[in-house]
Amino acid sequence: MTAETDTYPKTSSSRLSVAPMMDWTDRHCRRLHRLLSRRALLYTEMVTATAVARGDASRLLRHDAMEHPLALQLGGSNPGELAEAVRIAAPMGFCEINLNVGCPSDRVQSGAFGACLMREPALVADCVAAMIEASGGVEITVKCRIGVDEQDPRTTLPAFVDAVAAAGVRRFTVHARKAWLKGLSPKENRDIPPLDHPLVAQLKRARPDLTIVANGGLGDLAAVEDRLADGLDGAMVGRAAYHDPVAILGDADARIFGQFTAPVSPEAAARGMLDHIEATVSEGAPMTVVTRHMLGLFAGRPGARRWRRMLTEDARAPGAGPELVLAALRAVSPEARAA
């Protein structure tokens, strides 16, 4: 982290957030997203409590002040280990520490956490109680599904939320799909189980004292606005924010947060990444660890294919650096060519 923390918000708003996504929402991705929106809440990739408590926490939790407001997502089911991870992470500036009770992957299930914890609300309550006690005031939140496998979400979701809220959690992000832990892959679990956003809205109406954020199948800002209009406290966008970040985040501060700011262009976002690319390359990392997150900047615009090719194939060349991004901008953007 840098000494710039005070210039970026430390508090978060639930109105719009970008979901934690494994192998995607790393610190390079979050920097790009923050250039597009100063207000959207960003999340780290999920980090296991075991890794934080027993591993290289400074490397795992590395982030820059400009990424704030930033939330950390932890995975785990051992209250003591989760508490230790929270004690380590709490002084690092995260505005929120979130417990993952929604991931359906085999690897997460084998560790007895993620979506399978929907079956164990009492254990989740113990986990969050330990996390809250260790947090030093940092908010502890939960991201969950509406249910798993044979559960009936109409009864399972309210009972789960009530048990965890009784332990002190006030904010829940609810992926409005069941997770089928038997028979569906993680990818299929993002698409095949039907969405039930009305159930999530009903949860909010029945528990107005809780902050309820909707997640699942939200592909544009209009869908975010629909969730807000339906009474939800916020909306979390996943893959759409990654694949077309300008469409989701470029105008979000004005449309979702009411800020009187002009939309951020893909050209401006790309130029904003130049210093970071140079610093990353100077550390010995390949340029592609940054540019792979920038491929969607021109999604749906003329030249998008050429932009993606230059930032993948050409970026692998020895010595490639920020000048390649400028060349790619000149190749695809009339605005850049005129500059």
- Give, as one character, the DSSP assignment of residue 284: T
HSE toward the beta carbon, residue 148, CA cutoff 13 A: 22
Q: How far is CA 39 from the centre of its chain?
A: 13
Give me the DSSP letters along 191-208. TSSPP-HHHHHHHHHH-T
User: Quick one: tokens of 296?
Assistant: 């969607």
For helices 153-166 and 197-206, give the axis angle rounded to 10 degrees: 40
Closest among 314, 290, 238, 214 to 35, alpha carbons compared:
290
Dihedral angle sign, alpha carbons of residues 195, 218, 139, 211:
negative
Could you tell me the maximum CA-CA distance found in the chain, to the nearest angstrom?
A: 61
CB atoms closer than 10 angstroms to residue 318? 5
Catalytic residue positions?
A: 103
Q: How far is CA 270 from the centre of its chain?
A: 20
